[in-house]
Amino acid sequence: MTENFSTIKDILENDLSANPKYKFALKCSTLFSFWEEIVGFKFAKFTRPTSIKFEKLYVECKNSAITQELTMFSKKIIEKISVYAAPLGIKVSDIVFSYKNWKTEEAFFDENEDTNFVEYTEEEILAQELSKEDEKIVFESVEKMEFLPPELKEKYYMDIIKSLKAEALRKKHGN
């Protein structure tokens, strides 16, 4: 029996990279990873960008007060987001803030499910070792993202590395 399996790398490089919807989703995901830098920690904690359609950014907010406050600053936010969006080939000309679809993390967990998450400090995460092979794979993958300028590639690379290190810490401690 012949095994006909593809590696994730093969799927990403060959199958998905030709799909324009996938490319746009990847660009949006990259843009959304800079949300805290765009709106600041205070607002990033209670908001999350969800999609971009027809140059309109859709953002979920925790409540109507945050929705109202951000609406007042939407022009400034559009200016700030353009700094990150333009190199990706994305244009945002309007923002729609809504609190109607906000879901808390608690809503995604079963009451009986163990949700004792351990939060690690930045120092603990950075001190966690990753294999050189894993770091190389991430680096090569990010370098292939031609739509990202070098400064965004570095930021995206570090975000992925931190995420992998945090995941390794959780596995190490059984979380």
pLDDT tens-place string over residues 37-57: 999 888 999 999 999 999 999
Q: How confident is the model at residue 32 (pLDDT cuts 50, 70, 90)?
A: very high
Do both 32 and 90 map to the same domain?
Answer: yes
Tell me the two tokens of residue 97: 């803030």
Tell me the two tokens of residue 106: 């608690």
Q: Which of 105, 139, 154 is the last residue of a domain?
A: 105
Q: Is the pLDDT assigned to residue 12 strictly greater than 90?
A: no
Mean pLDDT of 9-21: 63
The H or E element containing residue 48 is strand 47-53
Residue 111 lies in a domain: no
Give the pLDDT confidence score for residue 108 in this predicted structure. 45
Q: What is the mean pLDDT of the chain?
A: 80
Q: Is the pLDDT assigned to residue 169 strictly greater than 70?
A: yes
Do both 100 and 124 map to the same domain?
Answer: no
Mean pLDDT of 134-163: 81
pTM across the whole model: 0.57
**Residue that wins the pLDDT comparison between 39 and 142:** 39
The parent domain of residue 128 ranges over 118-175
Q: How confident is the model at residue 96 (pLDDT cuts 50, 70, 90)?
A: very high
**160, 168 Cβ separation under 8 angstroms:** no
Gap between the Cα atoms of 24 and 84, Å rounded: 14
Tell me the CATH number at 11.
3.30.300
Gap between the Cα atoms of 142 and 76, Å rounded: 29
**47, 61 Cβ separation under 8 angstroms:** yes
Q: Could you tell me if residue 69 is left (phi over 0), alpha (psi between -120 and 50 degrees) or otherwise beta?
A: alpha
Do both 88 and 142 map to the same domain?
Answer: no
Q: Which of 78, 105, 132 is the last residue of a domain?
A: 105
Gap between the Cα atoms of 141 and 153, Å rounded: 10
Q: How far is CA 48 from the centre of its chain?
A: 10
Tell me the two tokens of residue 83: 């700094």
* Residue given tokens 């894993």 in the structure block: 134
Q: How confident is the model at residue 76 (pLDDT cuts 50, 70, 90)?
A: very high
Give the pLDDT confidence score for residue 49 in this predicted structure. 95
Mean pLDDT of 95-111: 69
Do both 135 and 83 map to the same domain?
Answer: no
Q: How confident is the model at residue 175 (pLDDT cuts 50, 70, 90)?
A: low
Give the pLDDT confidence score for residue 57 in this predicted structure. 96
Question: How many domains, in total, are found in the chain?
Answer: 2
Do both 15 and 100 map to the same domain?
Answer: yes
Q: Which of 54, 75, 105 is the last residue of a domain?
A: 105
Do both 87 and 13 map to the same domain?
Answer: yes
